[in-house]
């Protein structure tokens, strides 16, 4: 389940030219064509504004392409002597599977052990959201979050676990509504030291306060 690497480069994100401000005629036109191709009347009342609505929604759901996750971390790094584990758990994750463009959703649990620097707590969910708001696979999303924190904050280690339900498995294909996927990425001391991993896994499995 965990990635057997001590350090890795942040996986490169695809380059996209997204029009996010105002009307996007190309995307709206594509949605209009899509509606027609499935046999719908794109001009009927209920669908008349659907191309614009869908285009706006898709731009929102993929806004992560416009964000720099490393810059999010750099702007909120502080010198601090604290040297024990920091965990932000139960971070809500909403993303789109790149294979079918259907949603997957769940929780992310992120931990790091500082090495002279800490990061503002809210920035960890922001980093998760930055990568989640793209076309994704859960495995890469997990790696990107861990690698970004490891490379930018330079802690002793980073651990990331994501648990998610995938609509592409639930509402189509095998149609297994109860199945969910767990991925993990352990870097630094989280990878090298079994006790550190066990502490992390134990803490995130505890009931909420």
Active site residue 130: no
Active site residue 99: yes
For residue 176, what pLDDT band results from cuts at 50, 70 and 90?
confident
CA-based max dimension of the chain? 63
User: How distant is the alpha carbon of residue 27 from its chain centre?
Assistant: 24
Topology of the domain comprising 68-204: GTP Cyclohydrolase I, domain 2 (3.30.1130)
Distances in whole angstroms, Cα of residue 84 to Cα of each of 65, 78, 79, 91, 209 = 33, 15, 14, 20, 20
| Given the residues 97, 109, 136, 199, the one annotated as active site | 97
Active site residue 168: yes
Which of 5-19, 47-61, 90-104 is the least confident region?
5-19
pLDDT, position 123: 99
Active site residue 30: no
For residue 2, what pLDDT band results from cuts at 50, 70 and 90?
very low
| Given the residues 32, 109, 166, 191, the one annotated as active site | 166
pLDDT 10s digits, 52-87? 999 999 999 999 999 999 999 999 999 999 999 999
| Given the residues 32, 109, 136, 138, the one annotated as active site | 138
CA 161 – CA 184 distance, rounded (Å) = 4
Active site residue 138: yes
State pTM to two decimals: 0.87
| Given the residues 63, 100, 151, 163, the one annotated as active site | 100
For residue 40, what pLDDT band results from cuts at 50, 70 and 90?
very high
List the domain boundaries for the chain.
Answer: 25-61, 68-204
Active site residue 16: no
Active site residue 23: no
> Of how many residues is the chain composed?
209
| Given the residues 71, 80, 92, 98, the one annotated as active site | 98
Q: Which residue has the tokens 């209009």?
A: 32
């Amino acid at each position: 389940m965990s990635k057997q690497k001590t350090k890795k480069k942040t996986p490169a994100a695809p380059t996209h030219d997204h029009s996010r401000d105002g009307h996007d005629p190309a995307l709206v036109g594509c949605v209009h064509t899509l509606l027609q191709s499935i046999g719908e009347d794109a001009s009927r009342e209920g669908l008349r504004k659907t191309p614009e609505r869908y285009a706006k929604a898709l731009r929102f759901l993929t806004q992560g392409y416009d964000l720099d996750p490393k810059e999010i971390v750099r702007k909120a790094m502080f010198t601090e002597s604290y040297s024990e584990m920091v965990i932000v758990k139960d971070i809500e994750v909403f993303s789109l599977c790149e294979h079918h463009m259907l949603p997957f959703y769940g929780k992310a649990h992120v931990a790091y052990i500082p090495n002279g620097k800490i990061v503002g707590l809210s920035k960890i969910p922001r980093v998760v959201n930055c990568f989640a708001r793209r076309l994704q696979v859960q495995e890469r999303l997990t790696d990107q979050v861990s690698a970004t924190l490891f490379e930018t904050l330079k802690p002793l280690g980073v651990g990331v676990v994501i648990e998610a339900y995938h609509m592409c498995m639930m509402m189509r294909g095998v149609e297994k509504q109860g199945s969910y996927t767990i991925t993990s990425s352990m870097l630094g001391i989280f990878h090298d030291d079994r006790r550190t991993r066990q502490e992390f896994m134990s803490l995130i499995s505890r009931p909420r306060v």
